[in-house]
């Protein structure tokens, strides 16, 4: 994904970190989910600048598109909102999400918290844990994510590099810990090699551009495919 041969996606098709033709369909074939929800901050919402040669589509939407190819009637809701701290995600989005009755949920928040004064990774982790627990208690499969460490990029100002990197690492660690505790499908992007490359970030210096989204979608689909193989839940049969 994408699999067309147009000029608009030429760079993506040859990117070594992106999906190969037919890979998404093979990995997601027979998945059991019918109601997919995304909640969180701007990472969930999908902010990011277009990049020539890459599909102009956020990573969570790419995942939804790939899932719907095997479940055309899948219902999809994205409540992600930019500039939203994890505590506010829980207080303003979780009720709507639970009312949607998802059987698959992608939780992507905590990133905005790393940008504000007084960041406390354990406090953010507690909010994430509460969100994931509420979803898991309904029987929902939950996807969590540790973001790419963009602090390694050459365009990140030296004055903020160390502090941002430390915060992102702390967030990655608490997210990984709750993922193990609560048995989520965890997408660990933190140490992805693309984090040290130029050209990953949008003009705002905060959000991944559409190449970054293509890479995140690739890792999400591969991780979900591995989960389906490991658990044997393809076609709804455990």
Residue 104's DSSP bridge partners are: 36, 141
pLDDT tens digit sequence for 173-200: 999 999 999 999 999 999 999 988 888 8
CATH topology of domain 7-232: Rossmann fold (3.40.50)
For residue 1, what pLDDT is reported?
A: 45
Q: How many CA atoms lie within 13 A of 183 on its CB side?
A: 7
- In the predicted structure, residue 131 carries a pLDDT above the cut 90: yes
Closest C-alpha to 113, from 214, 206, 213, 215 = 206
Contacts of 157 (CB under 8 A, 6+ apart): none
Task: Delimit the domains of the chain by residue range.
Answer: 7-232
- In the predicted structure, residue 214 carries a pLDDT above the cut 80: yes
Read off the pLDDT of each residue in 38-47 and give the average, rounded to a whole number. Answer: 97
Beta-carbon count within 10 A of 88 CB: 16
Read off the pLDDT of each residue in 62-78 and give the average, rounded to a whole number. Answer: 97
Long-range contacts of 231-235 (CB under 8 A, 24+ apart): 233/31, 233/32, 234/29, 234/30, 234/31, 234/32, 235/30, 235/32
- In the predicted structure, residue 89 carries a pLDDT above the cut 80: yes
Task: Measure the CA–CA gap between 199 and 115, rounded to whole angstroms.
Answer: 21
Q: What is the DSSP string of 16-73?
A: TTSPPTTHHHHHHTT---SEEEEEESHHHHT-----TTS----HHHHHHHHHHTT-TT
């Amino acid at each position: 994904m994408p699999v067309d041969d147009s000029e608009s996606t030429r760079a993506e098709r040859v990117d070594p970190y992106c999906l190969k033709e037919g890979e998404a369909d093979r990995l997601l074939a027979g998945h059991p989910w019918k109601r997919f929800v995304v909640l969180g901050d701007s990472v969930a919402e999908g902010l990011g600048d277009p990049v020539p040669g890459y599909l102009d589509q956020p990573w969570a939407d790419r995942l939804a598109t790939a899932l719907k190819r095997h479940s055309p009637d899948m219902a999809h809701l994205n409540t992600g909102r930019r500039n939203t701290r994890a505590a506010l995600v829980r207080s303003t989005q979780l009720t709507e999400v639970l009312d949607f009755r998802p059987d698959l949920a992608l939780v992507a928040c905590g990133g905005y918290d790393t940008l504000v004064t007084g960041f406390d990774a354990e406090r953010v982790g507690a909010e994430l844990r509460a969100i994931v627990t509420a979803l898991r208690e309904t029987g929902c499969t939950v996807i969590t994510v540790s973001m790419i460490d963009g602090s390694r990029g050459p365009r990140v100002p030296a004055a903020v590099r160390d502090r941002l990197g430390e915060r992102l690492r702390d967030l990655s660690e608490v997210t990984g810990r709750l993922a193990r505790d609560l048995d989520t499908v965890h997408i660990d992007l933190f140490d992805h090699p693309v984090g040290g490359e130029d050209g990953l970030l949008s003009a705002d210096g905060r959000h991944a551009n559409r190449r970054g989204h293509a890479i995140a979608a690739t890792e999400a689909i591969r991780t979900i495919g591995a989960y389906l193989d490991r658990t044997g839940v393809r076609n709804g049969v455990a």
